[in-house]
Amino acid sequence: MSGRLVIVGTGPGNPEQTTPEALSAIAASHVFFGYSPYLDRLSLRPDQRRVASDNREELARAKDALHTAASGEQVCVVSGGDPGVFAMAAAVLEALEAGPPAWRSVDLVVVPGITAMLAVAARVGAPLGHDFCAISLSDNLKPWTVIESRLRAVAGAGLVIALYNPISKARPHQLGTAFAILREILPWSTPVIFGRAAGRPDEAISIVTLAEARPEQADMATCVIIGSPETRIVERPGLPPLVYSPRSTGLAP
């Protein structure tokens, strides 16, 4: 007998940004798999069981969750943000594709959530108001040369860029290298937004230019948004500035 596996995103960390659909899925589940800090955001009942694992054990976690669901359990895999954006939904589907046939009979549902770039963008205005992309700077699953080529391509195409996983103790140099690449292509006056822990008590949001941007302004809890050549900063006397990307663009094709 096959069970059910629901993959949810809790949002950026503010409980008010967890969707009602995600809360309903959590309430209906019995076994929870996830990274400990994400599971800690849940208020589980005594009859609900959590299985915590390290942040770099996504594929093993996905396999365990599928195995448990295939045995008939009501399972929930928990991500931060949106589970389909650099998170657990892709890991679960990767495990399912390579796994035993029984796993394909599991009733699998992905519940969308608010991802970091949306939370950060909302804090400063509308920097994602025109075409944009998201790139992870982590080279754990792809070569750094691929990341560099993508940065050059999207900057040259005039896209706003949201950077996930910008820096870590194991990767202290990559964000600085990314800024150096972008300075070769974009105006140095381009707005850069550092959004750390958007919506949480320790939130820190800053707006600088590409010329001023420094890697030490970010950590792994930060989403960095780099504007396009068209992105504008609107100054407001006595109030924080706003950033937006116009709905129309004058860039040549």
What are the tens digits of pLDDT across the range 66-80? 999 999 999 999 999
β-strand pairing of 132-136 with 4-9: unpaired
pLDDT at residue 56, rounded to an integer: 83
Q: What is the mean pLDDT of residues 119-148?
A: 96
Alpha-helical (H) ranges within the chain are 20-28, 36-39, 58-70, 88-98, 116-124, 144-156, 174-183
Nearest to 136 by CA among 87, 73, 185, 81: 87
> 167-183: per-residue pLDDT in tens?
988 888 999 999 999 99
* Rounded average pLDDT over 194-216: 95
CB 128 within 8 A of CB 149: no
Distances (CA, A) of 82 to 22, 95, 111, 199: 10, 19, 8, 15
And the tokens for 162? 């949201």
